[in-house]
Chains A and B, each alone.
Chain A
Amino acid sequence: MPPAPDLQPVLQAYANPTAVVTNEIMATVADEIATTAEEIEDSKIVEELLEVITDVQQELENATARTCQGGSANGRTCSMDDDCPGGSCSGSTVLVIGGICSGGSNDGGDCAADSDCPDGTCAGGVTLPNPSGAFRINYVCPGWDEGQFEPDYLKSCRGGANDGSACADDADCPEGTCVEARPDSANGAINLFMTLDSAGVGRVVWGTANNCQYLLPTEGDDCEAAGCSQGSYDGGVALDLGPDWVNEADFRLPVTFVLEGNLGLDGEDFRINQSFRVDVGVESFLEILVDIGDPALTETFNYIFAADLEGVRDATGFFGCSLEERRCFEQTCEGGANDGNVCTDDADCPEGTCERRELFSW
């Protein structure tokens, strides 16, 4: 397992920008910021990577349980207090790898505790108390086959009378099983490393994408309406999930990326060597770390794109900018309770108005 990259200097640069942005600086970097932001948005590489990570995280959550503290089931795995008659489900965290339901309505299904097996018991597997360590994730990319959006894509019978035939579920495979094959390895792969400790999944995820190919529907969820673009990424990946990353359903916190490689879109390659931040809970939020120092990270500022906001955060604070208008400005409340305070629109200025004053242009 390769060592995790040290992302602390990058995180520090986001937290404490050191550059004082001027019109000369913006004249130098504005086009690059605009192009980088556009490529990141269009390539959907963020969504592709986060989907893999959240899939694995979901698997881990499903395999994680606690142990009963006290009562007649003391020491057994549990997921709720009801699993522990006379006790509570508050013992140590355990990771159950390969637990299988025996009996009940989920017979044969994966489980971590008896409560995952209605009318049955969770048996077998290896139980690791207070687990720690690392995971290697190998995700074969979906490729550019437009059939991938079909519900039964790559499903076929294994064993039985219809061995090798396409199927939708086990009912189509007498005496066999309907299984989903892995995509063709020629589609490329994403190989990531994650760590696990007492607090859960570690905040740094790293690895590589080896010419990972995927489709980007132009409209809707498939290629039928308006076709698809062919996306790809080949290069290094490092992510910081933040100190309070929770799970897929709680994407409120910024995720910091460092990408170094080639983003491809419909045959055109874009070289990227960039750190940026997204906040999936905030629509269209993208924060780009602009590094103008030599050596690296000695002089940085952040350029922020959001649905109702665009601007720079530098050593002096935040001010608005428009790459399209090629100027930066500050917006403050005039009149009202927040007179003089920074604002984004009139709603921030009760009984006043949010007025824009140009700082510089380029």
Chain B
Amino acid sequence: MRAKRTILLVTLVVGVTLTGMGFSPRSARAYHTYKERLLDTTAYSLHRRELRLGLMNLSYGILDQLQVTTYTMPWLLGLIFEDVAPNLELKSTFYDRKKLALSASAGFLTGTILQPDSTKIRYFLVPVSLASSVRINSDFSTHFGARYTAVNGDAETQPEGTAIEGALVVDFLQLWAMAEWRLSRVVAFTFTLRWVPYVSNLVLNATVDAGNPTIGAELRGDLSELRNSFAVIPGFVFSWDRANIRLGVGYSDFFVEGFYLVVPGDVLSNVSIEFDVFVRF
């Protein structure tokens, strides 16, 4: 049943993407143009009634300066683990004049991790971002941004055996910079640098009831190993008549899109990837 649902979701996302490739109107072609800008890691957002359907996220322009996005991976993984992870992000390009664009965005991601012993750990992430984009000339742009993510979670008590109740909190800040060089109207070269200058301690307040005694814990975990996590990712964004592909392979830590988290590089052999296939119309 779970496999069927997973296949269904993948089929849906791919299907919608391909459908979009086939039926996008001529007026919304996806070539790199003055109007059509990269959306990820930039201050730009979709215009009113524009739609972007991709493997990694789905976005819609509510107004000219406001887009709403949901990331597909949390939904997909949530479905695999039998509990969907709703997420939404609003992004507003509140200033876009001449060569400068500024944006602010905020969102949420929530879900539940089911433990092997049926204990449920709920999590709630609130990312808030600011970004700026500077068009140096028609071929070259730079983009800078900062995202502060607050994570908190709680676990519910388990009625038998060791019962655990508690809440945890951790915050972190990510900065990024991206250079974009349009080599042609189809190909843009990107060079992205991501860096985590600040990670708070993981703060845990919990009660562990393993019988007698009961232990209440007010603990801090030192996440300083994640501080100064970074990734250097050269990549390309291909923008054809209808289809768009974003592909980057870089070095060091892996910044998980949609989950707002960082996976230490040594877990994935220091390979950091950025990938998406999408259409805009």
A contacts, CB < 8 Å to B? 1, 52, 55-56, 59, 74-75, 92, 94-95, 97-98, 100-102, 108, 110, 123-140, 158-159, 177, 179-180, 182-183, 190, 196
Closest to B208 in A: A97
Shortest Cβ distance from residue A228 to the other chain B in the assembled complex, whole angstroms: 20
**What are the 10 tightest A-B residue pairs by CB atom distance, in nearest-first order?**
A128-B221, A133-B219, A130-B222, A136-B216, A139-B213, A124-B115, A102-B116, A100-B117, A98-B164, A138-B214
B contacts, CB < 8 Å to A? 113, 115-117, 119, 121, 155, 159-162, 164, 166, 168, 202, 204, 206, 208, 210-225, 264, 266-267
Is B213 touching A133 in the complex (CB atoms < 8 A)?
no
What is the CA–CA distance of A125 and B113 in the complex, to the nearest angstrom? 10
**Of A128, A137, A180, which contacts B211 at CB under 8 A?**
A180
What is the CA–CA distance of A31 and B215 in the complex, to the nearest angstrom? 40
Is A134 touching B218 in the complex (CB atoms < 8 A)?
yes
- Indicate the member of B161, B224, B264 with the most A CB atoms within 10 Å: B161
Q: Which residues of B contact A128 (CB under 8 A)?
A: 202, 204, 219-221
Shortest Cβ distance from residue A196 to the other chain B in the assembled complex, whole angstroms: 7
What is the CA–CA distance of A129 and B214 in the complex, to the nearest angstrom? 23
Is B221 touching A98 in the complex (CB atoms < 8 A)?
no
Closest to B159 in A: A158
Q: Which residues of B contact A94 (CB under 8 A)?
A: 221
Task: Tally A-B pairs: CB < 8 A.
Answer: 122
Is B219 touching A95 in the complex (CB atoms < 8 A)?
yes
What is the CA–CA distance of A110 and B266 in the complex, to the nearest angstrom? 27
Is A140 touching B212 in the complex (CB atoms < 8 A)?
yes
Q: Which residues of A contact B223 (CB under 8 A)?
A: 129
Q: Which residues of A contact B160 (CB under 8 A)?
A: 158-159, 177, 179
Closest to B202 in A: A128
Q: A75-B267, A135-B217 are in contact. List 13 more A-B contacts (CB 8 A).
A: A75-B266, A95-B221, A97-B204, A100-B117, A124-B113, A124-B115, A126-B168, A133-B218, A136-B215, A136-B216, A137-B213, A138-B213, A139-B213
Q: Which residues of B contact A136 (CB under 8 A)?
A: 215-218
Is A125 touching B212 in the complex (CB atoms < 8 A)?
no
What is the CA–CA distance of A179 and B220 in the complex, to the nearest angstrom? 31
Is B219 touching A196 in the complex (CB atoms < 8 A)?
yes
Is B264 touching A100 in the complex (CB atoms < 8 A)?
no
Is A52 touching B213 in the complex (CB atoms < 8 A)?
yes
Closest to B221 in A: A128
What is the CA–CA distance of A74 and B208 in the complex, to the nearest angstrom? 29
Closest to A76 in B: B267
Is A127 touching B221 in the complex (CB atoms < 8 A)?
yes
Is A129 touching B222 in the complex (CB atoms < 8 A)?
yes
Q: Which residues of A contact B204 (CB under 8 A)?
A: 97, 126, 128, 133
What is the CA–CA distance of A177 and B225 in the complex, to the nearest angstrom? 41
Closest to A103 in B: B116
Is B115 touching A129 in the complex (CB atoms < 8 A)?
no
**Of B161, B206, B213, B225, which contacts A97 at CB under 8 A?**
B206
Is A124 touching B215 in the complex (CB atoms < 8 A)?
no
Q: Which residues of B contact A158 (CB under 8 A)?
A: 159-160
Q: Which residues of A contact B117 (CB under 8 A)?
A: 100, 108, 124
Q: A124-B119, A126-B204 are known contacts. Are A137 and B215 too (CB-CB below 8 A)?
A: yes
- Indicate the member of A59, A97, A123, A124 with the most B CB atoms within 10 Å: A97
- Indicate the member of B121, B208, B264 with the most A CB atoms within 10 Å: B208
Q: Which residues of B contact A196 (CB under 8 A)?
A: 219
Q: A92-B225, A126-B168, A138-B213 are known contacts. Are A108 and B116 too (CB-CB below 8 A)?
A: yes
Is A132 touching B222 in the complex (CB atoms < 8 A)?
yes
What is the CA–CA distance of A74 and B266 in the complex, to the nearest angstrom? 7
Shortest Cβ distance from residue B148 to the other chain A in the assembled complex, whole angstroms: 21
28 contacts between A and B (CB under 8 A): A1-B218, A56-B213, A59-B215, A74-B267, A75-B267, A97-B164, A97-B217, A98-B155, A100-B115, A100-B119, A108-B116, A123-B116, A124-B117, A124-B119, A126-B155, A126-B168, A129-B222, A130-B222, A131-B219, A132-B220, A135-B215, A135-B216, A135-B217, A140-B212, A180-B211, A180-B212, A183-B212, A190-B213
Q: Which residues of A contact B264 (CB under 8 A)?
A: 75
